[in-house]
Amino acid sequence: MELLDYTFFQHALIGSLLASIACGLIGTYIVTRRLVFISGGLTHASFGGIGLGLYTGISPLLSAALFAVLSAFGVEWLSKRKDMREDSAIAVFWTLGMALGIMFTFLSPGFAPDLSAYLFGNILTITQADIWLLAIVALVLVLFFMLYLHPIVYVAFDREFARSQNIPVRCFEYILMMFIALTIVACLRMVGIVLVISLLTVPQMTANLFTHRFHRIILLSIVIGYLSCLGGLLISFYLNVPSGASIIFFSIIIYTLCKAGKSFFLSLRRKQEHVDA
């Protein structure tokens, strides 16, 4: 409990909660629409914005957000063209972002910047500015999902049915892609470019083991995501290892235990049904 006296740990707890809310909402859409590969492309494309920010002297997270949103719109636009496959469009922005990020980083004046915080994350070093960014993204996502939950579900599961209900599918897809990009950037300081995609998918996969209802997956994934962050925080603090890797490691442990527990329970129930028969 003495950890709660430290300001950095208080920031980490607040940041974990806000990130869990944001990732729980937009991550459920990602998993439902099977956009994991697209999200991975946007994650790595944002590195170009970080390099640009370091080169120009502006906030790397601000430039990363702009770069990620433009990449999200670019992927969405190119993937709808008949002369471009979706995976090819993702590969274009994925490799372009990484290439520009590396080039701008090496061109940055002064000493070579430390990129470990952006690549692997460290939630124990997040600032009030990072918390405010997470809070704004989480609040906007909560309001958007509360107002448009049914259209989002229709777009996620059946785009043709959504069109038959006069829902502006393309508009929702672009808005949700923008939210994916912003959530990724907001969580970079927590888990880093390399691992942020796991925070958007593993808690949702775990929640999906117990329910297939969209809103229940959201709620469960928020809880599971926050538990993953808490467990990863403790591992990171006591073992002095990167917090991003610790959070993802703990979330996969939770998934493995839940998967094994469900399989064991279903096996027992089948045996019981066989005995009763």
Query: What pTM value is reported for the model?
Result: 0.88
Quote the CA–CA distance of 169 and 152 in Å, as a whole number. 9
Mention every residue, 6+ apart, whose C-beta is less than 8 A from residue 206.
220, 221, 224, 251, 254, 255, 258, 259
Q: Which domains does the chain carry?
A: 2-194 (1.10.3470.10)
243 residue type, one letter: S
The highest-confidence range among 92-96, 121-125, 138-142, 163-167, by mean pLDDT, is 138-142
pLDDT digits (tens, 9 = 90+) for 165-176: 888 988 998 999
pLDDT digits (tens, 9 = 90+) for 189-231: 888 887 888 888 999 999 999 988 899 999 999 999 999 989 9
Quote the CA–CA distance of 174 and 190 in Å, as a whole number. 25
Answer for the pair 31, 204: CB distance below 8 angstroms, yes or no.
yes
The highest-confidence range among 15-24, 52-61, 71-80, 185-194, by mean pLDDT, is 15-24
